[in-house]
Amino acid sequence: MAAKIALAGVGNLASVFLQGLKFYSGDERRGLWHPNVAGLRPGDIQVVAAFDVDSRKVGLELSKAAFAPPNVARRYLALPRGKVVVDAGISKGDAAPHLSGMRLEKAGIDDVTRRLEESGAEMLVNLISSGSGASSEEYARSALKAGCGFVNCTPSLVLRNNRLAADFAKAKLPLVGDDLMSQFGGTIFHKGLLGLMVKRGVKVSKSYQLDVGGGSETLNTIDEGIKLAKRAVKTTAVASEVPYKFETIAGTTDFVDYMGNDRTSYFWFEGSTFMNTGISVDIYLKSSDGANGGNVLFDVLRATHRCMKVGRLGTVGEICAYGFKSPPKPMRFDEAYAKFAALYVR
């Protein structure tokens, strides 16, 4: 039983995701967090359609588009040639800054809906650039019209659109998101250390997280408007781990082109303990964005597919809280993971 998906956006995360599907198509298990989720292996995920607005990718077969500029994700392995050709996608005047001046290949909602229906896709996975909120919502409406679930991996707050969420619930389709949280990236690391400090009785007073990276994702995020929106999402996600108010900031600070798809996150924590004795932590984390999202995206897609098959639909809380920075109902990570694992992990 295959979980048939369509990709909106063929960027760096999509590139590594596709390579991961190939890598784990057989018995390989190295680096795989959950081999079986909801009765499915990674090899049971099948990509049947893809969309993009970058003229350098539209019209290319997907295995070629995955490595086309401006993608800088690592080539872990060669992708076999398939039958999926990248179709023109949706742009509602909110194209990413890195596409400024580029010729865009645009399609309407009806074109995307028709292609989703023709492909037999069951879920549309939104991987387009940060800051494209209007386009993200239009992709969601297209998925709704085509009878597909929608998984929003971008920082656009699609699930906060009450009308859209109600329409998905009425159609008995899952709406999952927002903003995919990496397996061991800056947000979960920040949340994890804050949670540990709280559990050990440290009174947290301040923390910050500053990210520096390469690739178009980081380049987009240093745009002032996108930076502030992204910072608000990450900061809120981090703050939810502490049961009282404290000062915290989390967000991207700069772009370094030669870092490619890699990222360095800098953290600082301040707190106090016995007799108000001060404690501080100063640390950094190095990671690769695309690979860091792969395991979580695998898990989210398999769990969402299960929900579609058994009728647990709408905004599925435990999937959103487990896999995303800005779920409708935030939970501490240990609570979210326990609920997700109890329902889906075998």
pTM: 0.92
Which letter does DSSP use for residue 73 in this model?
A: -
Residues 6+ apart with CB under 8 A from 311: 172
Topology of domain 186-288 in CATH is Dihydrodipicolinate Reductase; domain 2 (3.30.360)
Q: Cβ distance 113 to 142 under 8 Å?
A: yes
276, exposed or middle or buried, with CB in 10 Å at 0-12, 13-18, 19+?
Answer: exposed
Asked whether the CA dihedral 125, 129, 133, 134 is positive or negative, the reply is: negative
199, exposed or middle or buried, with CB in 10 Å at 0-12, 13-18, 19+?
Answer: exposed
The distance of Cα 215 from the centroid of its chain, to the nearest Å, equals 15
- H/E segment holding residue 328: none
Q: What is the residue-wise DSSP string for 162-207?
A: HHHHHHHHHTT-BEE-SSBPPSSSHHHHHHHHHHHHHHTT-EEEEE
The pLDDT value given to residue 195: 94
Q: Are strands 203-213 and 175-176 parallel, antiparallel or unpaired?
A: unpaired
CATH number for the region 3-181+291-344 comes to: 3.40.50.720
User: Could you give the dihedral angle defined by the CA atoms of residues 106, 108, 112 and 115, in that order, rounded to the nearest 10 degrees?
Assistant: -90
pLDDT in tens, the chain (346 residues): 799 999 999 999 999 999 999 999 999 999 999 999 999 999 999 999 999 999 999 999 999 999 999 999 999 999 999 999 999 999 987 666 666 666 789 999 999 999 999 999 999 999 998 878 899 999 999 999 999 999 999 999 999 999 999 999 999 999 999 999 999 999 999 999 999 999 999 999 999 999 999 988 888 777 777 778 778 888 998 999 999 999 999 988 888 999 999 999 999 999 999 999 999 999 999 999 999 999 999 999 999 999 998 877 656 889 999 999 999 998 888 999 999 999 999 8
Domain parsing of the chain, residue ranges? 3-181+291-344, 186-288
The pLDDT value given to residue 130: 80
The pLDDT value given to residue 251: 85
The pLDDT value given to residue 219: 80
The pLDDT value given to residue 150: 97
Q: What is the pLDDT of residues 144-201, one digit of tens each?
A: 999 999 999 999 999 999 999 999 999 999 999 999 999 999 999 999 999 999 999 9
98: left (phi over 0), alpha (psi -120 to 50) or beta: alpha
The pLDDT value given to residue 100: 62
User: Could you give the dihedral angle defined by the CA atoms of residues 67, 69, 70 and 73, in that order, rounded to the nearest 10 degrees?
Assistant: 20
Total Cβ atoms within 10 A of residue 210: 17
Q: Which residues pair with 52 in a beta bridge?
A: 88
26, exposed or middle or buried, with CB in 10 Å at 0-12, 13-18, 19+?
Answer: exposed
Q: What is the largest CA-CA distance in the chain?
A: 67
Measured between alpha carbons, how far is residue 236 from residues 106, 131, 284, 300, 327 in Å?
34, 18, 21, 21, 11
Q: What is the pLDDT of residues 33-76, one digit of tens each?
A: 999 999 999 999 999 999 999 999 999 999 999 999 999 999 99
* Helix residue ranges, H only, the chain: 12-23, 62-65, 109-119, 133-146, 162-170, 186-199, 215-221, 224-239, 289-310, 317-323, 333-344
The C-alpha atoms of residue 269 and residue 283 are separated, in whole angstroms, by 9
